[in-house]
A = this chain, B = another copy of it.
Amino acid sequence: MSGLIARRATNETQKEAKRDAILIGARAVFSETGFWDTSMAMIAKRSGLAKGTVYLYFNSKEEIFLSLTSDEIETWLDLVDRQLLENGPSDIDEFINLLLVSMEGRDSLVRLLTLLHLVLENNVTYEAALNFKQNLGRRTLYTGSLVENALQFLQPGHGVSLLLNIHCLVVGWGQMSNPAPVLKEVLERPEMAPFRVDFKESIRVSLTALLYGYKHQNRSSGLSL
């Protein structure tokens, strides 16, 4: 009996392993070749599977992307949660530091977030989109509540708003600080200095102003976020 169950479990495990193999392969290829220039064939080859097999697990390149992004966001949120619970930052600067540290070495997350919006425009089924959004929605609500705990001046519900705001900043500054090769070359010209941007520093400055602004507003009035 336990043998049977084990065998079933093993099969499930094997399927999970194959899914993971695809995701791992896809992550590697995306980061090397860029999302738009990678084909399903490349992902299959990198995963050590046949093209047809990949289609047994994902309906499209876009859904692979979605799954990958979901994982990366969750991992990051897990880390943020842990830090919020452990370190209990009590002021804005500590909170921002915590965030910035949590983002270190997560270039690929930034890249994925940057693409996310556009990837969702094609080849994504309702089911996949729903699943993605519900997962992350729940996850975000939870982290949002932790954020509200950390930053006492936030009104209820504004933890999530802040997270969305951070998402915007990450996407916006992420794009600007990771220009395409041609642009990079252009930006190296001396007159382009005002438009060269450092991701971490930009996030820090914007977020600092934003949070002090919120705090100030909430103190001086009941202005809603």
Considering only residues 69-109 of chain A, those with a C-beta below 8 Å from chain B are none
Q: Cβ of A68: which chain B residues have Cβ within 8 Å of it?
A: none
Q: Whole-angstrom distance from the CB of A132 to the nearest CB of chain B?
A: 8
A208-225 CB mask vs B (1 if < 8 Å, else 0) is: 111111101100000001
A78 to B206, CA, bound (A): 26
Most buried by B among A126, A161, A205: A205
Chain B residue nearest to A167 (CB atoms) is: B172
A176 within 8 A of B: yes
* Total identical chains: 4
A197 to B163, CA, bound (A): 13
Do residues B172 and A133 form an inter-chain contact, with CB atoms below 8 A? no
Do residues B34 and A182 form an inter-chain contact, with CB atoms below 8 A? no
Q: Whole-angstrom distance from the CB of A130 to the nearest CB of chain B?
A: 5
A48 within 8 A of B: no
Do residues B169 and A168 form an inter-chain contact, with CB atoms below 8 A? yes
Q: Whole-angstrom distance from the CB of A22 to the nearest CB of chain B?
A: 21
Considering only residues 130-152 of chain A, those with a C-beta below 8 Å from chain B are 130, 133-134, 137, 140-141
Q: Cβ of A213: which chain B residues have Cβ within 8 Å of it?
A: 208-214, 216
Q: Cβ of A173: which chain B residues have Cβ within 8 Å of it?
A: 168
Q: Whole-angstrom distance from the CB of A175 to the nearest CB of chain B?
A: 4
A170 to B181, CA, bound (A): 23
A12 to B87, CA, bound (A): 63
- Partner of A210 from the list B186, B202, B210 (CB cut-off 8 Å) is B210
Do residues A164 and B115 form an inter-chain contact, with CB atoms below 8 A? no
Do residues B117 and A157 form an inter-chain contact, with CB atoms below 8 A? no
A170 to B125, CA, bound (A): 27
Chain B residue nearest to A185 (CB atoms) is: B126
A169 to B206, CA, bound (A): 10
